[in-house]
Amino acid sequence: MITIKNERELTSMRKACKITAAARALAGELVRPGVSTKAIDRAVHDFIVSQGAKPSFLNYNGYPASVCVSVNSTVIHGIPDGYILKEGDIVSVDVGAFYEGFHGDCAATYACGAISTEAQRLIDVTRQSFYEGIAWAKKGNRVQDISHAVQTYVESNGFAVVRSFVGHGVGRKMHEEPEVPNFGMPGRGPRLLPGMTIAVEPMVNAGTYEVRVLKDGWTTVTADGKLSAHYENTVLITDGEPEILTVTEGL
């Protein structure tokens, strides 16, 4: 069931989302050569807890960390460990925070030092595809209007959208209805209504859209070993323009 949030609930969601966005920003600042992915996880965990919130991901379906740190060909769900970031890596950070009964969810891909021109283009196209999508995140449109806009922009730039994983509703649960694919036909899917809160999250590969999940049951990598990037925000459908909730202003 798709949940519509009232103003009281949205007040709490905005707080949760601001904490989440600040945690993403902190993780991004830590993406530099010589830093371990585990160190990023510790810093994000400690920050979220310091804000009186809980890391949404920690122990979620058994996930062992507070943040997903996915490097290079890892698409999503990279488990932080002793890997030391090096010059030229691209690093996707996905984070969630639970506060006053609600979750925020956001992600971004960061350059570790100097990266290749093509890697930077992948990051830029992935980020912009989010904005191309939410231009359609308006009352009366349908979910796959967003999906189609993301797919069209990504594929027009020569990249591929991941199909095995999708965006989703977010609120009291981290994953709620509706699913928000990054591909599809316009005019399909549930109708967008004010008070809906959705996580729009393009996952974009430099090569094939196909992925595979490693033996740990979490780490998801590109099937061809090429780079992948990720960008996500929690978005509120309003009576007018969509509101991006995962922003740091006013924290």
pLDDT band at 248 (very low <50, low <70, confident <90, very high): confident
* Tokens representing residue 29 in the block: 């600042």
- State percent of the chain over pLDDT 70: 99
**Three-state DSSP state, 5:** coil
Q: What is the number of domains present in the chain?
A: 1
pLDDT band at 227 (very low <50, low <70, confident <90, very high): very high
> Quick check: is 89 in a domain?
yes
CATH number of the domain within which 117 lies: 3.90.230.10
pLDDT at position 99 is: 98
| CA atoms of 180 and 81, how far apart (whole Å) | 30
pLDDT band at 130 (very low <50, low <70, confident <90, very high): very high
pLDDT at position 92 is: 98
Calculate mean pLDDT across residues 162-186: 98
> What DSSP string runs through 188-251?
-SSBP-TT-EEEE--EEESS-S-EEE-TTSS-EEETTS--EEE-BEEEE--SSS-EE----TT-
pLDDT band at 251 (very low <50, low <70, confident <90, very high): low
The mean pLDDT of the chain is 97
- The burial of 117, by beta-carbon neighbours within 10 Å (0-12 exposed, 13-18 middle, 19 or more buried), is given as exposed
> Quick check: is 251 in a domain?
no
The one-letter amino acid code at 118 reads E
> Quick check: is 196 in a domain?
yes
Give yes or no for residue 249 having a pLDDT over 90: no
> Quick check: is 249 in a domain?
no
> Quick check: is 218 in a domain?
yes
Its pTM stands at 0.97
Q: How would you label 45-59 residue by residue, b for 16+ Cβ within 10 Å and e otherwise?
A: bebbeebebbbbbbe
> Quick check: is 18 in a domain?
yes
Calculate mean pLDDT across residues 168-185: 98
pLDDT band at 250 (very low <50, low <70, confident <90, very high): low
Calculate mean pLDDT across residues 161-183: 98
- Pick from 247, 246, 182, 240: which is nearest to 211 by CA? 182
Residue-range definition of the domain harbouring residue 207:
7-244
Contact at 8 Å (CB) between 67 and 55? yes
> Quick check: is 110 in a domain?
yes
> Quick check: is 57 in a domain?
yes
Per-residue model confidence as pLDDT tens digits over 3-45: 999 999 999 999 999 999 999 999 999 999 999 999 999 999 9
Give yes or no for residue 133 having a pLDDT over 90: yes
Q: What are phi and psi of 105, to 5 degrees?
A: -150, 125
